[in-house]
Structure 1
């Protein structure tokens, strides 16, 4: 008999929440909210604002936990989970670098993304971040969270348009969509955990 791991039977729920599962689950709400604050600050103050850069770095760290949270819901033998972890870690590196580059620019320095040679590393690493979110969307669909997966996918497809082109009118709605999609997963898991503990 074959069993399928779903959100309701994901590791950790039946045995009760652990400090690690609470941390990872909490990132589903915190990371998108912090990143929304970062992009809203960019929209108001410009794409070289130091405060936005700090929020950007914190949001990028939060999203590193988000990809680990979703990967942990998949079976341990899942190749998709391994790809989510790999792209998530690489993407976190790129995303963090872009945040630090903003702080760098706020001090009057030349943007790294405009430099040749070794500075070009920031660009391919940065592309792994939206790729990791595409894989997260696939995982959510497989786990039965279809509308959240679809919303994450749509937001992710618009992510490069918003952030490569520095288009605030796209960046802010993209982050609102991610707040709704990922935040709803947290409340759904809490409700499921409460039911299973009764």
Structure 2
């Protein structure tokens, strides 16, 4: 799916390149300030993870080949994992069992969660033809550091990773998808 430039869908998907990463940054700032079991941070976490679903849809418009197919599968799994971790934090804040420490079916959250940074890495690869090398490298490094920061609960590093993602996807929004609206663009 490639939305027509200047349409409401095009503008929404382009805005998601900034909105999803910014909301995720807010979540990690709140986690850094209040701890990894903060329910307010978890709400922003779920909303930011949902915003990344729109980022994924925007990125799928770059390539219709195998890379886009891989990005779609990994991205859908990663989005599920990222949203799942946000809801897990809400459950933990209410005194419920942490799925990360549980066994059986609860272990599904771990591989799904790891698909999210893999989605970010595939996004960097997908952007290699339309973005400057510095931006592709920034997004790739952020993707590689993301699991380190979040698995090891290194709050300052998680915030730094999200700042890099805001900058990287923000640059994508500004440079790649800036196109004049057609005269008959839908509102």
Same fold (TM over 0.5): yes
Whole-angstrom CA distance in 2 between matches of 1:127 and 1:81: 19
Whole-angstrom CA distance in 2 between matches of 1:54 and 1:194: 35
Q: Show structure 2 runs of 5+ residues with no match.
A: none
Contact 2:25 2:162 in 1 (8 A): yes
1:107 aligns to what?
Answer: 94
**CA shift at 1:122, angstroms?**
0.4
Q: How does 1:112-127 map to 2 (within 5 A)?
A: 112-127=99-114
Q: How does 1:40-119 map to 2 (within 5 A)?
A: 40-74=29-63, 76=64, 78-119=65-106
Report the 3-state secondary structure (helix = DSSP H, G, I; strand = E; otherwise coil) of the residue aligned with 1:193.
coil
Contact 1:60 1:96 in 2 (8 A): yes
Instruction: State which of 167, 179, 184 in structure 2 corresponds to 1:193.
Output: 179
64-73 vs 111-120, greater mean Cα deviation: 64-73
Total equivalences in the alignment: 183
Contact 1:140 1:146 in 2 (8 A): no
**CA shift at 1:112, angstroms?**
1.1
Deviations 1:155-177 (A, max 9, x none): 11110111011100210000000
Whole-angstrom CA distance in 2 between matches of 1:121 and 1:195: 43
Contact 2:131 2:176 in 1 (8 A): no
- Name the TM-score, length of structure 2 as normaliser: 0.92
**CA shift at 1:196, angstroms?**
8.7
Q: Show structure 1 runs of 5+ residues with no match.
A: 1-9
- Name the TM-score, length of structure 1 as normaliser: 0.87
